[in-house]
Amino acid sequence: MSSTPSASYDVVVIGSGPGGYVAAIRAAQLGLKTAIVEKDAKVPGVGLGGTCLHRGCIPTKAMLKSATLFDEVRHAADFGVKVSGVELDFDAVRKFRDKVVIKGARGVEYLMKKNKVDIVPGFGRLDGPGRVAVGSPRARKSSRRRAFSSPPVRLRATCRS
Ligand SMILES: Cc1cc2nc3c(=O)[nH]c(=O)nc-3n(C[C@H](O)[C@H](O)[C@H](O)COP(=O)(O)OP(=O)(O)OC[C@H]3O[C@@H](n4cnc5c(N)ncnc54)[C@H](O)[C@@H]3O)c2cc1C
């Protein structure tokens, strides 16, 4: 994982969900120097992948697999298969779900490295034409706007016509 206090890129993508990481890979494959900014990428190999990987498609489908299997085994006798002592171990279900999610996040990180996309952890915001500031967000009590609690990393994206 790499980040520098100030750096220049052709493309800066904010957000590493399916929309963001695919766009970053494509930009890099086209020869553009690319960075991807992700606020959840605090720990290497864990935070990339967006809603789909961490809270949406993937964890729900992993849990659905456990639920489907449990239901099938409970009704196995209908198919002439006798089983007993079938129990749902919810901690193990959670472990399976988390293993699938972490494997996916490591996969996204691998794809970033393979395609030479720099990962910049932090909260990104547009900071003027062709500029992105990255920092850690802190909610202001008096308003719904976000402010940076520490000096942001500044990335410059070259605008080409
Ligand atoms: C419960 C659930 C189940 C789903 N199941 C399916 C399914 O089975 N099939 C399907 O096709 N779709 C499913 N979806 C929808 C799918 O998750 C979304 O369509 C997809 O994640 C959208 O991708 P995205 O890249 O646009 O955004 P996201 O995946 O939301 O990614 C956005 C990323 O940007 C980051 N980010 C946002 N703002 C900033 C910022 N300012 N600075 C830095 N980082 C930032 C976020 O942390 C996040 O990682 C499901 C969604 C949910 C909630």
Q: Compute the distance from residue 53 Cα to the ligand 1 centre, in Å.
A: 8
* pLDDT tens, position by position, 29-48: 999 999 999 999 877 778 99
In a domain, 5, yes or no: no
In the chain, the number of structural domains is: 1
For ligand 1, the distance from its centroid to the CA atom of residue 26, given in whole angstroms, is: 18
Buried b or exposed e, range 52-89, using 16+ CB within 10 angstroms: ebbeeebbeebbeebeeeeeeeeeeeeeeeeeeeeeee
CA 104 to centroid of ligand 1, rounded, Å = 14
Q: 140-154: per-residue pLDDT in tens? A: 444 444 445 556 677
Q: What is the CATH number of the domain that holds 105?
A: 3.50.50.60
Residue 145 maps to a domain: no
Residue-level pLDDT at 137: 63
Question: Does residue 84 lie within any of the structural domains?
Answer: yes
Which residue puts its alpha carbon closest to atom 51 of ligand 1?
56
